[in-house]
Amino acid sequence: MNGRVFLIGAGPGDPGMLTLRGAELLRQADVVLYDGLCNPALLQHATNAEHICVGKHGQSRIWKQGEIIEEMLQHAGAGRRVARLKGGDPAVFARTAEEVAALQQAGIPMEVVPGITTALAAGSFAGIPVTHRGLASAVALITGHEEPGKAQSALDWDALARFPGTLVVYMGVTTARSWTGALLSAGKSADTPAAIIRRCTLPDQQVIRCRLDEIADQLTPATQLRPPVIVIIGPVTELADAVHWAQSRPLLGQTVLVTRPADQAETLADPLRQLGAQVLVQPVIEIQPLDDWTTVDTTIETLSNFDLIVFCSRNGVQSFCNRILAIGNDLRCMGNLEIAAVGEKTADSLSEFHLRADIVPPDFRAESLAESLTGKVQDKNVLIIRASRGRDELSPALQQAGANVTQLVTYQHLDVCQADPTIIELAQAEKIDWITLTSRVSATNAFTLFGDAMKKMKIATLSPVTSDRVKEIGLQVTTEADPYTIDALIESLRKASS
């Protein structure tokens, strides 16, 4: 039995706030039990695991603590590695002690991984340090939602009202009138500065500045500000205007839909998040291995018959080189071949296998690659590594230049037939500002999934080829990358949003 449990702090919301150890253990997990407050983007670290949401406010039933523990024990008892992903830090109002006790009683090995709790993240992302040399030398973390059924509160409100530092209230939305009233009754000054922070570290973070006696009105009714929310009380909240870098990011307030395949989406999504965007990821194309490798294997065994090998994508590099290794060969079988790559990123992928591209066109287009090779391929045997579908302008151009061309499909391009219902709903409600499209196929399939809702989105494309397809569909292109790289696509979107 190798079952064990990792209790992992997911941090305050931004997926970049996860610790390296947390990411490492998610990659090892067979099952992830995650809270609704955890950013779903963190699940990218657990691509081989089963994902089980234990409840999200306003969207699904919240599991009882006993149900979560039972599910955790069941999977671990069956020999699985279970990641229990918890918002913030496992040691701060996360009921971790109950889970630890159950695991210890069952004799199941475990590890607890700290996370950044929201009170600490507020200092960086909302400009409110909970301690300050001149204003607060102590901080108290307080629950605004004590365990139901208690005969009396375990909190000493008189002491908290006199506390010489910062008060941070967690889970206090629905009970705001009760706990603010308790502080006021205990003598806390009504004009004590306060700040309400919702979705700290996320692109749609909100910071509301008010007084202690105004908090309840700001939070009532509870639907006015949905969780996650913390309230910070004390003079430090008046420093919020001094540290405002998070509020000045160029894409703040913009919702961007990334349509790249799942294993490539983060290369675009993460930089957009760093610029302040709210990023939605909905692949419109799926990359899958071949069902039958016979032709590829035969070609690998006869590579010595070729003079030049051309890689048209990073996926082609990875699928072909990994197949060479999978059948027990090694990359020396490519030793006598000249290598061409369609672009810089494809060349970078070759370097991961310790291979260097001899030819890379300056503007990362198949047409430019064909021009670079014209005059060099007369009577040469050329092998083109490609996907199961897509434009084929390179092969005819090389054949016209006198090459003997063989095209080899090493991976499948499949359409995603159903989009996330939540993203469909946002698109139809016109709540998506931008959509990014990186190929003709992605443009076509995005329109199949989202239809006329795309007319209300600004469209950013990777190249003129993609733009042409967008226009054929009947849509308008807002901005286009130049040169045709992901970095340039991000920059063009940033400029178009300013």
HEC letters along 62-126: CCCHHHHHHHHHHHHHCCCEEEEEECECCCCCCCHHHHHHHHHHHCCCEEEECCCCHHHHHHHHC
**In the chain, helix, strand, coil percent, each to 5?**
40, 20, 40
Name the DSSP class of 484: S
Total Cβ atoms within 10 A of residue 182: 17
The boundaries of the domain holding residue 255 are 249-284+416-497
CATH assignment at residue 167 = 3.30.950.10
Same domain for 215 and 306, yes or no, is: no
Residues 133 and 52 in one domain: no
Pick the last residue of a domain from 82, 115, 148.
115
Last residue of some domain: 82, 99, 115? 115
- CA dist 247 and 428 (Å) reads 28
Of 92, 115, 138, the residue that ends a domain is 115
Does 489 lie in the same domain as 379? no
Provide the CATH number for the domain around residue 26: 3.40.1010.10
Q: Would you give per-residue pLDDT tens digits along the chain (498 residues)?
A: 579 999 999 999 998 899 999 999 999 999 999 998 899 889 989 989 999 999 876 566 889 999 999 999 999 999 999 999 999 999 999 899 999 999 999 999 999 999 999 999 988 888 899 999 899 999 999 998 765 555 567 799 999 999 999 999 999 999 999 999 999 999 999 999 999 999 999 888 889 999 999 999 999 887 788 888 999 999 999 987 655 677 788 998 899 999 999 888 989 999 999 899 999 999 999 999 999 999 999 999 999 999 999 999 999 999 999 999 999 999 999 988 999 998 888 999 999 999 999 999 877 667 778 788 888 889 999 999 999 987 777 889 899 999 999 999 999 989 999 999 989 999 999 999 999 999 999 999 999 999 999 999 999 999 998 999 999 999 999 999 998 889 999 999 999 998
Place of tokens 């009105």: 217
Kindly compute the dihedral angle of the four CA atoms of residues 437, 438, 440, 444, in this order, to the nearest 10 degrees: -30
DSSP letter assigned to residue 13: S
- Verify that 348 and 491 share a domain, yes or no: no
Q: Do 279 and 422 belong to one domain?
A: yes
Asked whether residue 446 falls in the same domain as residue 485, the answer is yes
pLDDT reported for residue 429: 94
Same domain, 369 and 455: no
Instruction: Tell me which DSSP letter residue 248 carries.
Output: G
Same domain membership, residue 253 and residue 224: no
Could you tell me if 303 and 407 lie in one domain? yes
Q: How many domains does the chain have?
A: 4
> Residues 306, 253: one domain?
no
Question: Which pair of tokens denotes residue 410?
Answer: 């090493």
Tell me what pLDDT residue 246 has: 77
Q: What is the pLDDT of residue 364?
A: 65
Contact 34, 43 (CB under 8 A): yes
**Quick check: helix, strand or coil at residue 275?**
coil
Would you state the structure tokens that stand for residue 267, as one six-digit string? 């290369």
280 and 420 within one domain: yes
Coil, helix or strand for 210? strand
- 194/297 same-domain check: no
Helix (H) or strand (E) holding 140: strand 139-143
What is Dmax (Cα atoms) for the chain?
Answer: 92
Q: What is the CATH number of the domain that holds 324?
A: 3.40.50.10090
What pLDDT is stored for residue 415 in this prediction? Answer: 93
Contact 460, 277 (CB under 8 A): no
pLDDT at 445: 96
For residue 352, what pLDDT is reported? 94
